[in-house]
Structure 1
């Protein structure tokens, strides 16, 4: 019997999320080797808590299988961080589902735009963001030694707590 996949907001400081962040950090270390920068430790946990942020997880039963977070980039823009999908659940559209949930969270938090960056050694992430309506491309950002892809798009969700025609 298979479990239904459920998306929900999670506490980024919880043990279940810590496992995900460790796996994501290991993936960054493997992909970027000599260029690795500690992205996980670079931002305080508080950045991903309301009222400025949110952490979304997709659960298959009790197993966290995909996740992503937003944090304040500026007054009108949320930044996507912590995108991850468990190896056994990749290529099932879960990352797109996480992005939709993050769009909803951004709308609820009052953001009008979403921004993100991804490294040049993550071509599947570049493809995902382009397929999900993000626009942008390769940029040189001084704090990185490799090219970085920067993308943004408008928030497309209507806040769930707002009237549909607001």
Structure 2
């Protein structure tokens, strides 16, 4: 991490978040071109008040957000770190920020979905305490999805 690393809580309207999500989508469709039809409907950027962005030297380099899944549960979404900033612990930092924020809002459970080729992401989430569970809606029946859950 840089000497000037800043963690910012913001919303999905933030232009830096929109730019990072564009890079995330591009990387996903390059890695999984065959899945675009199955997953594109789940890939809508909704208005979200719970976004975290990490800045390094004033450049947005990583992001994540959560949305309400049910009264006790949040769903982690849109986790992404620019390739040149991976391996620096930024994803763990974002996860911790999101979980603390959700806990402050009264949530006690966190779920997420990732794709089977995302070995690094799966390892990251398991290291953070997530366990693989049966797929939840809207991922039931999607064999390429890996769903995970943890108490926060």
| TM-score (normalised: structure 1) | 0.81
1:44 has 2:46 as partner: yes
Structure 2 distance, partners of 1:137, 1:115, is 9
Decide whether aligned partners of structure 1 residues 143 and 23 sit closer, same or farther in structure 2, where only a CA change above 3 A counts: farther
Candidates 78, 97, 102, aligned match of 2:98: 102
Decide whether aligned partners of structure 1 residues 24 and 60 sit closer, same or farther in structure 2, where only a CA change above 3 A counts: same
Structure 2 distance, partners of 1:80, 1:11, is 14
Decide whether aligned partners of structure 1 residues 111 and 97 sit closer, same or farther in structure 2, where only a CA change above 3 A counts: same
SS in 2 for 1:136: strand
1:91 has 2:93 as partner: no
| Aligned pairs for 1:9-48 within 5 A | 9-36=9-36, 37-38=39-40, 39-41=42-44, 43-45=45-47, 48=48
Larger radius of gyration: 1
SS in 2 for 1:74: coil
Cα distance per residue 1:64-116 (max 9 Å; x no partner) = 11110000011000000000001110011110111000111111211011000
| Contact 1:120-1:148 within 8 A present in 2 as well | yes
Answer with 71-80 or 12-21: which moved more.
12-21
Q: CA RMSD in A?
A: 1.8
Q: Which has the higher helix share?
A: 2
- Aligned equivalent of 2:130: 134
Structure 1 distance, partners of 2:133, 2:57, is 36
1:153 has 2:129 as partner: no
Gaps spanning 5+ residues in structure 1: where?
Answer: 156-166
| Contact 1:138-1:147 within 8 A present in 2 as well | no
